[in-house]
């Protein structure tokens, strides 16, 4: 089994188009509260490509910042506004020291992780990205079973839970592997070693449900989808935008039951400190 290659892009590259040759794509939604200008175009293309079978899955990532709630909510809001989350979308937390405070940031990163896991309904659909130094210094306490894309230009970092390796930033580290691809030119490139695109997707919880649904008859599928939709609405609120009955967060967004419970826990912890 060969490696599955895929690009990692943002507004530093052109938007993706049908010349893209691979069956996995990774692109940025936001850096903190900064919204990537190419996100909407990239998301629309990736959703169509996934629906048509040209992509096995796609990764939407955000650059983690200490204002983790605003950062995660910005990511979530952008995806919802784009019509998602698409069933073949994977969320990724980009953990890097650049512009972030030093030391252990596990609490804030894990809070962002669990918020997204609750939102997507499957913790496998939330993965991490980091180089070796940043992973162990910034995120030493990680969720069990976390899957990671490890950054290591010119050398595989072999991180715990690693399912792919970002081997180049397009500046000659590929060792014979491509330094980029159409339509982007040179760019960050990744290799999922020994995994087909479908295998990579399944590692992240994508496509597994489709295999399960294929063994159900039409009436069973309809009943399961109706029940799932009811549960989703109760957890996420109408159109995934939270429940106004539960109040709003500091960004003015309606809370979900999970968000509301987190605020209660935070309030209790603050009272206990007094």
Where does a domain end: 171, 204, 237?
Answer: 204
Per-residue pLDDT at 221: 60
> Is 140 in the same domain as 184?
yes
What's the average model confidence in pLDDT over 8-21?
Answer: 98
Instruction: Tell me which of 69 and 227 has the higher pLDDT.
Output: 69
Is 237 inside any structural domain? Answer: yes
Q: Residue 153: name the closest of 110, 187, 102 by CA.
A: 187
Instruction: Tell me which of 223 and 149 has the higher pLDDT.
Output: 149
Total of domains in the chain: 2
Is 70 inside any structural domain? Answer: yes
Is 9 inside any structural domain? Answer: yes
For residue range 72-129, what is the model confidence (pLDDT) as tens digits? 999 999 999 999 999 999 999 999 999 999 999 999 999 999 999 999 999 999 999 9
What is the CATH classification number for the domain harbouring 154?
A: 3.20.20.80
Cis geometry, peptide bond prior to residue 222 (ω within 30 degrees of 0): no
pTM: 0.77
Is 211 inside any structural domain? Answer: no
> Is 134 in the same domain as 71?
yes
Judge whether 175 and 167 are in contact, CB under 8 Å: yes
Per-residue pLDDT at 265: 78
Judge whether 85 and 52 are in contact, CB under 8 Å: no
Give residues with Cβ within 8 angstroms of 200, minimum separation 6.
4, 24, 56, 57, 163, 164, 192
Q: Which domain holds residue 251?
A: 216-273
Per-residue pLDDT at 212: 45
Q: Give Cα 15 distance to the centre of its chain.
A: 19
Per-residue pLDDT at 49: 97
> Is 224 in the same domain as 173?
no
């Amino acid at each position: 089994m060969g490696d599955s290659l895929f690009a990692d892009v943002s507004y530093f590259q052109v938007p993706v188009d049908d010349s893209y040759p691979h069956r996995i794509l990774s692109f940025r939604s936001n850096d903190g509260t900064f919204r990537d200008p190419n996100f909407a175009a990239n998301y629309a293309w990736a959703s169509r490509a996934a629906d048509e079978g040209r992509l096995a899955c796609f990764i939407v990532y955000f650059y983690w910042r200490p204002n983790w709630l605003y950062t995660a909510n910005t990511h979530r809001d952008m995806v919802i506004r784009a019509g998602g989350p698409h069933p073949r979308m994977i969320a990724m937390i980009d953990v890097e020291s650049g512009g972030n405070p030093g030391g252990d940031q596990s609490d804030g990163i894990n809070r962002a992780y669990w918020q997204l896991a609750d939102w997507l309904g499957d913790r496998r659909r939330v993965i991490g990205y980091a180089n070796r130094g940043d992973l162990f210094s910034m995120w030493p306490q990680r969720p069990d079973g976390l899957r990671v894309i490890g950054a290591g230009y010119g050398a595989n970092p072999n991180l715990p839970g690693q399912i792919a390796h970002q081997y180049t930033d397009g500046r000659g580290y590929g060792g014979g592997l491509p330094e980029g691809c159409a339509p982007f030119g040179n760019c960050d490139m990744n290799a999922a070693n020994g995994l087909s695109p479908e295998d990579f997707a399944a590692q992240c919880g994508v496509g597994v449900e489709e295999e399960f649904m294929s063994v159900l008859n039409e009436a069973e599928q309809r009943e399961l989808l109706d029940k799932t939709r009811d549960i989703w609405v109760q957890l996420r609120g109408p159109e995934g935008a939270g429940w106004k009955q539960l109040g709003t967060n500091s960004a003015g967004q309606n809370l979900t039951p999970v968000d509301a419970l987190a605020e209660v826990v935070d309030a209790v912890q603050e009272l206990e400190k007094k």
